[in-house]
Every structure is written in C-alpha cells, then in structure tokens.
Homo-oligomer: A and B are copies of this chain.
Amino acid sequence: MSERSDFIEACWGRPVSRTPVWIMRQAGRYLPQYREVRAGVSFLDLCRNPELAAKVTLQPVDILGVDAAILFSDILMPVESMGVGLDFSPGPVLEKPVATAADIATLRVPCVEEELSFVFDAVRILRAELNGRVPLIGFCGAPFTLACYMVEGQGSKDFSRVKQMMFSAPDLFASLMEKITETNRRYLNAQIDAGVQAVQIFDTWGGLLAPADYETFIQPFTAKLIAGLNRAKVPVILFVKGGGTMLDLVKQAGADVVGLDWHIPLDRARDVLGTKVAVQGNLDPSVLFGPTTVIEKAVRRILGENDGRPGHIFNLGHGILPETPVDHVRFLVDRVHALT
C-alpha cells in the first residue's frame, strides 16, 4: 500500500479517519457494467480469465467508491481442482458429488499454484492496477460450506445429506473436511503470496448447525485453516452466516475480524466478541430496496450500535441482491463515509 488504509486499520482494530465500507458480492449482477462483461462470457470463463476477472473486480471501486476491492472469483474454484467437476446453471452443480470413503479417497489436494494460476495472475494484475488506491481482499469458502456443496452436489434447502454424513459417519466427514481444509490453506496462502492484503473466509452454511455441533464438527477445521495461514501482515475475516447465536465459538476460530449478518444487533455482537476482535457488517441487503430515507435510518442505527468503537468495517450482512438499484448502493457508501 502506498498509503495508510482505513480498511486495513479497522481490521486490526486501530483508529480510522472514517468507517471503511465495502459490499459483499460488490462485483456482480446489479451493476450494468458487470452485466455487459458477462453478456460475452460464462461465469466460469470469467473467473478463469485474469484480465476480465480483474476488470470486474475494479468496477465497484470506480463506481461506488468502496474502501476495498475483493477478487472476483468463486469459492468452488479450488474444489473443482480437487476433482469433483463444476458447472453453473445458474447455481453451482458438481458433476461428481462425494458420498463414500472411496469418493473421498480419490479427492486430490491440488497444486493450487499451477492449477489455479489464473487466480494469482488476477491478483498481480489487480495490485498493479489498484496501485495502492484501496486494498485487495482474497477469499475462500470455509471447509463446512465447501463440504456442503461437495456432498449435496448443489445448493439445498437444509443440506440434510451432508449433515447425515456428519452425524452418522463422523470419521468419514472429518477426512473430507481435512482435505478441504488443507486445499484452502494452500489456496489462501498462495493468494497472500500473490499480493492480497486481507482474506475473508465465507462460511455461508455454518449457521445451519446447532452451536454444540458447530463446535464439535466444524469449528476445529476453520480454526486449523486460520492457524495455517501466513497472516502476520494480512488480517483474516471470518463470516459465518447465521452465526449470531454462537459468536463465542466463531470468535474462538481465531480470525481478526468477525463478519456479522443482520440478525444480531451490532452492539450485542460486540458485547459477546469483546474488544480484541473487529467486526464487519451488518445491513440487511434488502434495505437497499427501500427509499434513501430508510437506508439512511438503517445506517445511522448500525453506526449508533457501534458507538464509535474502533474496529468496525461497514458491509451488508450477506451478498448484495441482483435487483438492487446502483444509486442506492452509492448513497449507502456516501452516507457511511459522511456520518463517520
């Protein structure tokens, strides 16, 4: 970084000039400029093309004025390299979901540097193009969320198949989690080597579990992933969607920043998390459909709940919805900056 970044400072819990803000899934379908790029290329081909991935990564930085860029990619890219096949139609579909010990035994821990070189090429392009303007965030899926897709083969309402494996064959489940954890440890470290300045771990489905089961079956793998990162200079953000009732356990996984969905008031979350962990969040994405008066009120409420404590990165509580008006997102970013 050529200069001090509010985003990175906030991740470390240090004072900032104004509250930094970025938007989960900020490079996405709600942006006409993104849809223009996507008109000519499939989602997977866009992920695999470093120049185009870099291009859409930069769009929200230019259009919205957010305080961080996040690499355009998908959490399933390293999973594909493990050998399960991957397509999008439009949601993810794995060609070879895993069910048996033999399935898991054939999964590879890939040489990510070679097989996902397009990701690290995109990172290098982005660092050059950003030239210190804002930091670049890398990411991966949490082991459980990836296991969900690998066992179910696609999205699911209740992911009962993966939970069935977890409860009825815990050793088998653990062997799968182990391979995913090691793959993603290497994958995130390679992103860090290539130049990302923070990393976020997305546990989209971790909140499907009872706290006791999260603690037994899931959290040790997330903690192992985090502990295995070259993170001296790179803050780690852990986002567990639906984690509001088990923030004590999420915190113990060891991230520097805990991402929050909108189901828990920010002040209560901070009370549980204590002063040594920063927080990121937590506006309901659908508030952005409301008029600007509603958005302003919600921004003021969340900033009020934080009450000036250091270590707050403003964000949505989940990915931005495709139909969101771009004007409203720009309004949000401006108001967060103006009010802090």
Could you tell me which A residues sit within 8 Å of B by CB distance? 158, 160, 163-164, 167-168, 207, 209-213, 242, 244-246, 262-265, 268, 282, 284-287, 289-291, 294, 298, 301, 317, 321, 323
Contacts and interface: CB of A to CB of B under 8 A. Distances in A.
A169 to B, nearest CB: 9
A210 B167 contact: no
B301 A212 contact: yes
A167 B290 contact: yes
A291 B168 CA distance: 6
Identical chains in the assembly: 2
Nearest to A213: B284
Contacts of A323: 160
15 contacts: A158-B286, A160-B289, A167-B290, A167-B294, A168-B291, A207-B263, A210-B262, A210-B265, A210-B298, A210-B317, A211-B263, A212-B298, A213-B284, A244-B244, A244-B245
Majority DSSP secondary structure for residues of A touching B? helix
A272 to B, nearest CB: 11
B167 A321 contact: no
Given A160-B323, A210-B298, A211-B264, 5 more contacts: A163-B289, A164-B289, A209-B284, A211-B265, A212-B301
Contacts of A210: 262-263, 265, 282, 284, 298, 317
Contacts of A160: 285-286, 289, 321, 323
Contacts of A167: 286-287, 289-291, 294
B245 A264 contact: yes
B242 A263 contact: yes
Contacts of A246: 263
A217 B331 CA distance: 24
Contacts of A268: 245
A269 B265 CA distance: 16
Nearest to A214: B263
A327 B211 CA distance: 26
